């Protein structure tokens, strides 16, 4: 209870910020004070990981504000859905999840995170998928319950994985070409979702397969040519400016 018998829950912005602060205190501040930085973790590691969890936690809070929007209006609680509307809040949830994933990606690009941290990117992606599903059919309390228990199951599974001594590193190296190729597959699946109603799933799949096979054939033909030119002096000079064909093989 604040001066004037005001509750923190009734204050715009601070209701979500206070909850996020409490979460970060228990997750980061207390362990840092009690044990300090260990295992090679630096300030950058903690900062980017805290940014990931903070953004994800606030998005989770706003999802529950959407669930309580009718009661909050009656109680005059100034939540984001009450002040800005449900549409704006939905877009804000998606933005916060995207920024949360971006914090992990930037930390990984800077070499701060290993696979055991990067796998956390699943959480905002799953939350976006579950939120969008609930949004399409009309967001309801059952959607909050589904998101909560899904997160609980993922956390429990992650803890069991670590305690079981299972691998915390990928069996292969994560290279930029492989990351680009994975991204292209994701883009193709999204395009299939958007364009299939217009052109038909079968026609889209055939066109996409033809493009993929043609690109693969052209790329690997270029790689074979590139390798063969390394045996000549003129070829070595020319191929030095044409290393792009070897992208998909991840050799250069």
The CA R_g of the chain, rounded to the nearest whole Å, is 24
| Mean pLDDT to the nearest integer, 22-35 | 81
Distance in angstroms between the alpha carbons of the first and the last residue of the chain = 62
What is the rounded distance in angstroms from the CA atom of residue 19 to the CA atom of residue 133?
A: 26
**Bigger pLDDT: 205 or 193?**
205
Question: What is the pLDDT, as a whole number, of residue 85?
Answer: 87
Q: SS3 for 198?
A: helix
Mean residue pLDDT across the chain = 77
Say how many C-beta atoms besides its own lie within 10 A of residue 100's C-beta: 25
Is the pLDDT score of 249 beyond 70?
no
Per-residue pLDDT of 130-157, as tens digits, reads 888 888 887 788 888 888 899 889 889 8
Per-residue pLDDT of 77-109, as tens digits, reads 888 888 888 888 888 998 999 899 888 888 887
Sign of CA dihedral 110, 116, 122, 123: negative
Question: What is the pLDDT, as a whole number, of residue 52?
Answer: 92
As given in the structure block, the two tokens for residue 42 are 């630096």
| Mean pLDDT to the nearest integer, 236-247 | 45
Q: Tell me which of 109, 136, 170 is where a domain ends.
A: 170
What is the rounded distance in angstroms from the CA atom of residue 63 to the CA atom of residue 90?
A: 8
Q: Is residue 2 part of a domain?
A: no
User: Which residue, 242, 199, 198, 195, is CA-closest to 221?
Assistant: 242
Number of domains comprising the chain: 2
Q: Give the residue numbers spanning the domain of 165.
A: 8-170
What is the rounded distance in angstroms from the CA atom of residue 44 to the CA atom of residue 36?
A: 14
Q: Is residue 41 part of a domain?
A: yes
Q: How confident is the model at residue 51 (pLDDT cuts 50, 70, 90)?
A: very high
Do residue 207 and residue 115 come from a single domain? no
Question: What is the pLDDT, as a whole number, of residue 55?
Answer: 92
Question: Is there a contact between 113 and 62 (Cβ–Cβ < 8 Å)?
Answer: no
Question: Is there a contact between 189 and 205 (Cβ–Cβ < 8 Å)?
Answer: no
Percent of the chain with pLDDT over 90: 6
Do residue 25 and residue 95 come from a single domain? yes
What is the rounded distance in angstroms from the CA atom of residue 206 to the CA atom of residue 189?
A: 13
Question: Is there a contact between 21 and 88 (Cβ–Cβ < 8 Å)?
Answer: no
Question: What is the pLDDT, as a whole number, of residue 232?
Answer: 55
As given in the structure block, the two tokens for residue 143 are 């959607």
Q: How confident is the model at residue 6 (pLDDT cuts 50, 70, 90)?
A: low
What is the rounded distance in angstroms from the CA atom of residue 32 to the CA atom of residue 34?
A: 6
Q: How confident is the model at residue 9 (pLDDT cuts 50, 70, 90)?
A: low
Place of tokens 């998928």: 129
Question: What is the pLDDT, as a whole number, of residue 38?
Answer: 73
Q: Where are the beta strands (DSSP E) in the chain?
A: none
Question: What is the pLDDT, as a whole number, of residue 96?
Answer: 92
Average the pLDDT over each of 55-59, 189-193, 248-252 and give the range with the smallest value: 248-252
Q: How many CA atoms lie within 13 A of 69 on its CB side?
A: 18
Question: What is the pLDDT, as a whole number, of residue 250?
Answer: 45
Do residue 14 and residue 78 come from a single domain? yes
Q: Tell me which of 135, 170, 205 is where a domain ends.
A: 170
């Amino acid at each position: 209870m604040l001066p004037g018998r005001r509750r923190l829950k009734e204050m715009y912005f601070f209701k979500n910020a206070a909850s996020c602060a409490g979460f970060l205190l228990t997750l980061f501040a207390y362990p840092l004070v009690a044990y300090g930085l260990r295992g090679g973790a630096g300030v950058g590691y903690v900062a980017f990981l805290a940014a990931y969890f903070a953004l994800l936690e606030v998005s989770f809070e706003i999802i529950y504000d959407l669930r309580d929007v009718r009661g909050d209006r009656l109680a005059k609680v100034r939540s984001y859905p009450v002040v800005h509307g449900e549409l704006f809040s939905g877009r804000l949830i998606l933005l916060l999840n995207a920024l949360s994933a971006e914090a992990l990606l930037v930390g990984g690009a800077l070499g701060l995170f290993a696979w055991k941290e990067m796998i956390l990117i699943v959480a905002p992606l799953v939350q976006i998928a579950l939120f969008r599903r609930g949004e399409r059919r009309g967001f309801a309390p059952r959607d909050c319950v589904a998101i909560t228990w899904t997160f609980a199951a993922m956390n429990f599974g992650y803890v069991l994985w670590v305690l079981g001594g299972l691998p915390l590193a990928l069996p292969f190296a994560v290279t930029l070409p492989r990351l680009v190729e994975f991204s292209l597959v994701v883009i193709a699946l999204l395009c299939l979702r958007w364009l299939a109603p217009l052109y038909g799933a079968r026609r889209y799949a055939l066109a996409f397969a033809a493009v993929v096979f043609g690109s693969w054939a052209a790329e690997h033909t270029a790689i074979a040519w590139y390798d063969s030119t390394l045996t000549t002096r003129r070829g070595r000079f020319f191929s030095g400016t044409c290393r792009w064909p070897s992208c998909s093989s991840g050799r250069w």
